[in-house]
Structure formats: C-alpha cells, structure tokens
Structure 1
C-alpha cells in the first residue's frame, strides 16, 4: 500500500495467493473451507477448566520473563520422558506462539544481509519473518519424486559465506513430509561442516502416521547450534491460546528474552497455565486427536487419488495434503479458483508456499469426514 504514512518497505504489495483466495471465498455461500490449518475440535475441556480455575486463583499477571517456572519444568520433563534428553532451565523460553518464537530467534541471530535457507514448499510466514529480521531468505527446492526430503547435494550448493542458518520443518506444512533419520543426520553434518545454526520447527510432532517422530533435540552433536520451536496450537488444539516455546543454547535464549521484553513482555499467563495441564495430560489428550486426523487424512488421500486430474503421495504426517494437479496443465491459482467457483471448496494454491509450489494445491483436513465427503463429491464432478 503506497501512502505517505506507511513505511516504504510496505509500499510494494506483499499479499499472498493464500490471502487472495480467502478474500475471494467471502463472495460465495455454502463454502467448505479446507484452507487454513485451524482444527475444528475445541480445546480439551480439562485444559479449559484448569485454566479458568488458575485464573480465579490469581494467575492473571505477568509471569517470569522466560515463562512460568512451572511450565518450564513441565517442558523439561516432556523432553526427558518422550525424547530421553536433558534440557537446562536456562535453555527454555515460553513464547506467545511459535510464530513469534521464530521472529524472536531470527531477530536474535541475524545481522543485516545474513542468509537463511528455507526448504520449499515452506510455511508461508518464514519468508517475510526472515526479511523483518533484516535477513535474506534463500529457497531450497524439494521434490515429490524425492518424497520432499532435502537433497543434501543441493543444500550444500546453496551455502555461501553469508549463510547463517537453515530452517527445518518436519513434519512439514504444507507437504506432510516427515524427514528420515538419514536426512536429519546429513543436515546435522552439513551444519557442523559450515558452522551453521539449525532452526527446527517441530510444531506437528504429534502427527506422524507411519513412523515415530524424530526430534532433532536427540542429536547431541548439534545441541550447541540447534534451536527448536514448539507450539501448543496443533498438538493440543490450542490455536487461540497463542502459546509456544523455544529450546536453544542459553546465550540465544537470553537474547530472545531481551527482544521479547520490547515486543510482548511475557506470554499470556492464563495460556501458560493451560499449557501446564496439556503437557501433564498429553497421554490422554493427544491419542484421540491423532486418531481423528489420521482417519480424515487417509479418507481424503483415497478420494483424491480417485479423481483423474489429482494425485497425492501416501500421508506421512500433519493434517495437510499437498495435491499434485499438474495433469490439468493449469496453474495452482487457476485450479484453486475453479474448485472454489464450481465446487464451493476453499483450497490454497501451491505457489503460496514458494516458487516450487506451482502445480500443487494444499488442503487442511480440519473438517469432519461428512464434510470432506461432500467436498470431494463436488470436486469429482468438475470437468476439466
């Protein structure tokens, strides 16, 4: 938007196809929304009740700058119990969402012009978050025929003297890919070889459907250069609570805290109390959620592959499906618009997730199977 009172950095249009489709959908009625990854399930009642009771008790004030000590202790226990890893208290910071956590990290580690590698297709905000922190985003293409794993040779060719960090997102939004232990080990070796930081966005860690999730925190050889981002949004269906955490070397955590004091001061106290309950009760809260979304994803996978002009690989993780529409010969934005226009189903064009996303659309299986059935029945009737 060009305006004398707007920073010139924002004069150039930075809107995405994702935002454009959302605006377009408002012109239609009876739309089935498969666009944004906001689960339709409500937060577990136990979490809500506990947070309410804690608010009544007085947990409505600022917390410690790095987060409620009780929550930090539960995060330590989680990593010890689930990943067999010891984490020091000074390596933990509670953040107002993983999105803000990513910005705090980037602001803390980047000098002007430092490059950050992001494997594409990527979570849309990464690109501008890097730019906001005065960095330069560098896309690394991943391919469906390689199961969207990072090609290590291509990764090494992308590195230069300005490369500062690599962002790793597994399980991945939008592709649903889950990186193998071999891939993760090779990435770790590259980071050591070139003295790079690894920022691992692991917010979908609960949602793996074939193999157990491997957190990079278990790779001791890179602990001195590893930053982990977590969120309660997806793993506990707490998107509106805006709560996450950062695990990193203590020097980086101290800097993130300093930056955060000038942004939001502390994470919401009531949300932090809710997160304590979520972690303590994860073994009863999470299994039904995982089962539900796995059923939806597998149902959608079968329906998609029965539509002649669509295909999708077998799901590995998350509740997204990244659908190949290259047979149509049309662009991802054109197909997304046709599906909205003719089937009243809202999807996201693949080019929202980087230049290599062309030829794909993404759906989020965040509605029930009855709604998914309606959506695919409508899509199947489209003649191209």
Structure 2
C-alpha cells in the first residue's frame, strides 16, 4: 500500500528518541526499581482549586463543542496576560487556543513553512522539533549553541547559516534541554538578523515562570519584533498541569486569521471545561511556580555539587527550567551508550544528549522533577559507572 511522504519524513523522529525512557518503563513494569530522570513532568500535583474549577464547569454542562479560536474566557485571560507583559494592546484576535504547546507548535509551523523552505533552530534542541519541522516538508538548519557561550544563540552564528530558503527561526527560551535563557540584548541582536532576512520568529516559552537566574524576556516583548513573532506556550509546566493539554499561540492578527482555518481543519476547539480552568489559572499568579523554582534550583545545585568535577564529569547549574546537563564525554562513551548502560547496570534512567541534537553528543539530560533522595541515588549511580569507565584516573 502507498503512504503519504510525510510518514517517511517522520520515520525515526517519534518515540525512538525516547528509547531509554521506554526501556526504563518496561523494566519497572517487570518489577525492577528504577530511578527515572527522563521526562519533564512536574512532581507537584495540579492545584486543587484548578481541578475544582474544571469539575464545576463539567457539572454545569461545559462539555459541548467549542469554537475554532478558543473559549471567550480563556482568550480574554491570554490577551490580558500578554498585554500586561508586553505593555501593548493584545486582543483575542491575537490568540489561538490548542490542546498543549506541541499542537500549537505543529499548527504554527504548518502555517509558516513548506516544501523547499528552511527552518532554523539551535542545536541542541527539544526532541520533537525535528518532527514538527519535517512534517511541513521544510528542512531544519542548525545554529550550534556553544557551551562556552552558555548554550545561548549568538546573532553572528545565526547569520552564518541563513540562505534565501530560510523562512522561520524557532527559538526556545528558556531552553530545553540546556536551561539557557536569552537576554534582551541577545534577542534584539537576533531579531535584527531576522528583520534583515525577513524571517518569522517562533518562540517556545513553556518555561517562562521557571527562571532561576536573570529576567525572562520574549521577542514578543520587543516592539520592533512583535509583527514577526509568534509565541507558543501552555499551563503544563507553569501550573503543573501537563495532562490537561491546554496551550495557545499569540501573534499578529493577520497571522491568527490566516492560521484559523488550518487549526479548524485539525481540531474544532478545545474542551470548554479545561478552557474555564485555564482562564482561572491565568487570572492569578501561579500557585505552584515558586515552589517548583525552589525545588528545581535546589536539586540542580545538589546534582552539580555531587557530579561536577567528579570522575571527569562536568555539570553546571542552568539558568532556568527543569533539567540539568552532565557532560560525560571524558568516559569515551556517547550519551546513548552511557545512558543505556546506566539504566541496565545502575537502574537509573536519564536522557542521552543525542536525543536533542548532534551538538549534545556525549551529554546526559537529567530531570529535576524527582525527590532529593532519588537525586542523590542517581548521582551515586552515575559516578559509579563513570568511575568504572576510568578506573585508573578516578579510582
């Protein structure tokens, strides 16, 4: 039988990147105790008042069809959020609602890129970006993000990779997997390159409220970049509500008008009771963001204290997010090899850097959303394996 070419373009770009995580779940199901530091799922429960709002809305009959753009309440809440943040008028016409950031990003990219185009990302990059870009028919072009620059994209490096085929720059700030965050000067310099070459900027900002060091700035906040910037985000991380799948995009009115029919062809609206919960959550400060920031920073510092400089490992505290990197290149193994051996020999599951791009080969990504005692046990397992690989120097 014949299949559409998109299935070939996406081959190997789905669950294959999560092979260590999948294997860890299989081992756990078989009875092996596993310390799991693979995925970024908040360990703080969704606030009860948010659940109560959703429950009340369902019981009140808010279970019917919605519209293609989003429920009026959540559209108004998002317009207020971004209007306050940018200091510029933002209305419901600037917003589209989706079931999560991943869906928002997929639809946005389908609206901006197609066969023959190029979409530019940093490398490292979040694991699903390859698939999101290739689904459009476009080609991904990489800007190396260098450790010595804190994994923050540099405008000069961006300029080097731009060709006449370039259409979109996909940014992620704060960044997954590195935890790097672009400052206002860096964004302005990057934006100047994008203006020069007439590029869209798509900014994935799901970690906006999980910043440890510095002030969050979005390209949408910079007036000169507003008309070429589209933000995607959700309540999954900021409000510890990943399972509710509530996300959005914010951009120019013309953009959302052009994108709306595409969105409606895929899904005609989100669940009204979840929209009500989201509007409620966005109308007040997050009840859990501060606690998550405190926990994730403490755990990042804990991991760095235990790993950095031990058995040849390098591990520095990130600026933001819910992950920390460990550079294990001194062991002579790739991140894939080390992560699988770590799982099989020490029963510790982490993500290999190679799942996030060529520029993170020989690294591990560790989730910070596990309890401190498991953090300590995971670090001990990593050190034992690294030491076995370098017995003479690090005995």
Range into which the TM-score falls when normalised by the shorter chain: over 0.9
- Which digits, 9 at most, give the CA deviation of each residue in 1:239-276, with x for residues without a partner? 11111110111121122221111111112222211111
In structure 2, the partner of 1:367 is: 370
Residues 257-276 of structure 1 mapped to structure 2, 5 A cutoff: 257-276=260-279
User: Are the aligned partners of 2:239 and 2:287 in contact in 1 as well (CA < 8 Å)?
Assistant: no
The CA distance in 2 between the partners of 1:360 and 1:378, in whole Å, is: 16
SS of equivalent to 2:376: helix
The CA distance in 2 between the partners of 1:187 and 1:258, in whole Å, is: 31
Question: Where does structure 2 lack aligned partners over 5 or more consecutive residues?
Answer: 390-395
In structure 2, the partner of 1:80 is: 83
In structure 2, the partner of 1:143 is: 146
Q: 1:305 to 1:80 in 2, by over 3 A?
A: same
In structure 2, the partner of 1:221 is: 224
In structure 2, the partner of 1:124 is: 127
In structure 1, the partner of 2:334 is: 331
The CA distance in 1 between the partners of 2:63 and 2:301, in whole Å, is: 42
- Which digits, 9 at most, give the CA deviation of each residue in 1:118-161, with x for residues without a partner? 11100111111111112111111111011111122221111111
1:322 to 325, 337, 340: 325
The CA distance in 1 between the partners of 2:214 and 2:254, in whole Å, is: 34
The CA distance in 2 between the partners of 1:122 and 1:179, in whole Å, is: 14
In structure 2, the partner of 1:18 is: 17
Q: Which runs of 4+ in 1 moved over 6 A?
A: none
Q: Residue 6 of structure 1: CA displacement?
A: 4.8
The answer to whether structure 1 residue 46 and structure 2 residue 39 are counterparts is no
1:190 to 193, 204, 226: 193
In structure 2, the partner of 1:34 is: 37
SS of equivalent to 1:262: helix
In structure 2, the partner of 1:170 is: 173
User: Are the aligned partners of 2:335 and 2:352 in contact in 1 as well (CA < 8 Å)?
Assistant: yes
TM-score of the superposed pair, with normalisation by structure 1: 0.94
The CA distance in 1 between the partners of 2:285 and 2:62, in whole Å, is: 22
The CA distance in 2 between the partners of 1:40 and 1:322, in whole Å, is: 19
1:211 to 211, 214, 232: 214
- Which digits, 9 at most, give the CA deviation of each residue in 1:70-96, with x for residues without a partner? 111111222233443321221111111
The number of aligned residues is: 381
User: Are the aligned partners of 2:123 and 2:145 in contact in 1 as well (CA < 8 Å)?
Assistant: yes
- Which digits, 9 at most, give the CA deviation of each residue in 1:321-378, with x for residues without a partner? 1211111121111111121122111111111111112121111111111211221223
User: Are the aligned partners of 2:335 and 2:362 in contact in 1 as well (CA < 8 Å)?
Assistant: yes
2:296 to 260, 274, 293: 293
The answer to whether structure 1 residue 154 and structure 2 residue 157 are counterparts is yes
The CA distance in 2 between the partners of 1:109 and 1:80, in whole Å, is: 24
Deviates more, 1:289-298 or 1:132-141: 289-298
Deviates more, 1:192-201 or 1:246-255: 246-255
Q: Residue 7 of structure 1: CA displacement?
A: 4.3
User: Are the aligned partners of 2:170 and 2:201 in contact in 1 as well (CA < 8 Å)?
Assistant: yes
Q: Residue 98 of structure 1: CA displacement?
A: 0.9
Residues 370-381 of structure 1 mapped to structure 2, 5 A cutoff: 370-381=373-384
Q: Residue 174 of structure 1: CA displacement?
A: 0.4
In structure 1, the partner of 2:281 is: 278
In structure 1, the partner of 2:393 is: none
SS of equivalent to 1:381: helix
Alpha-carbon RMSD: 1.7
Q: Residue 35 of structure 1: CA displacement?
A: 0.4
In structure 1, the partner of 2:392 is: none
User: Are the aligned partners of 2:27 and 2:34 in contact in 1 as well (CA < 8 Å)?
Assistant: no
Q: 1:9 to 1:277 in 2, by over 3 A?
A: closer
The CA distance in 1 between the partners of 2:250 and 2:12, in whole Å, is: 31
Deviates more, 1:84-93 or 1:189-198: 84-93
User: Are the aligned partners of 1:176 and 1:315 in contact in 2 as well (CA < 8 Å)?
Assistant: yes
Q: Residue 315 of structure 1: CA displacement?
A: 1.7
User: Are the aligned partners of 1:298 and 1:315 in contact in 2 as well (CA < 8 Å)?
Assistant: no
Q: 1:84 to 1:303 in 2, by over 3 A?
A: farther
